[in-house]
Amino acid sequence: MACFVVPAAEAVVTTVVHKLVTAKEKKEGITSQQHGDLSTKIPFSHKLKWLNNMLWGGSALLAFEHIWHGEVTPWFPFLSSADSASETAEMLHEMSTAGVAMAVLVTGVWLGIATISSFIEKRPQQNIEIGR
């Protein structure tokens, strides 16, 4: 019904945090990883951008699905389930269950990716040439 609103709200928060972290890193002289440079550590702001992309992208595509099913309308209040009290209650229940679960799962997967990338950064560079 409107489950995508929860990850979209998280995306707004993480975007603000990303801006703040980028400004802080700039002040400290930490720059984003150069193209092809494997010697530098990936800044936290760069990793945060991965979460932003997953949350914004996922929310946008899910919003499209809701438009497809007629659950999001181009007129106020923009959600068809906001028309009656019982449907609103159902929508809020879905947001608090499926919506929160979506946000938690995406954040959890991002935490996993960020942790694995930290291990990969520490690993010595591999010199495997494919096809030789």
Partner 1 sequence: MTLLTAVFAAISSTIVWYFKDGGNQFRVGTLSLMYWGAALMWLVDAFFEYAETGAGYFTPLPSDMLNDFFLGISVVALGLIIWLALLLFKDPKNVVKRALQKSDAS
List residues near partner 1 by CB under 8 A: 3-4, 7, 35-36, 50, 53-62, 64-65, 68, 97-98, 101-102, 105-106, 109
Q: Which residue has the tokens 């099913």?
A: 69
Between 11 and 21, name the residue whose CB sits nearer to partner 1: 11
Minimum separation from the CB atom of position 30 to partner 1 (A)? 18
CA separation, residue 105 to residues 5, 57, 90, 102 (Å): 15, 15, 22, 5
CA distance 115 to 41: 13
Between 5 and 21, name the residue whose CB sits nearer to partner 1: 5
Between 64 and 78, name the residue whose CB sits nearer to partner 1: 64
**Residue 101, number of CB atoms within 10 A of its CB:** 13
Minimum separation from the CB atom of position 50 to partner 1 (A)? 6
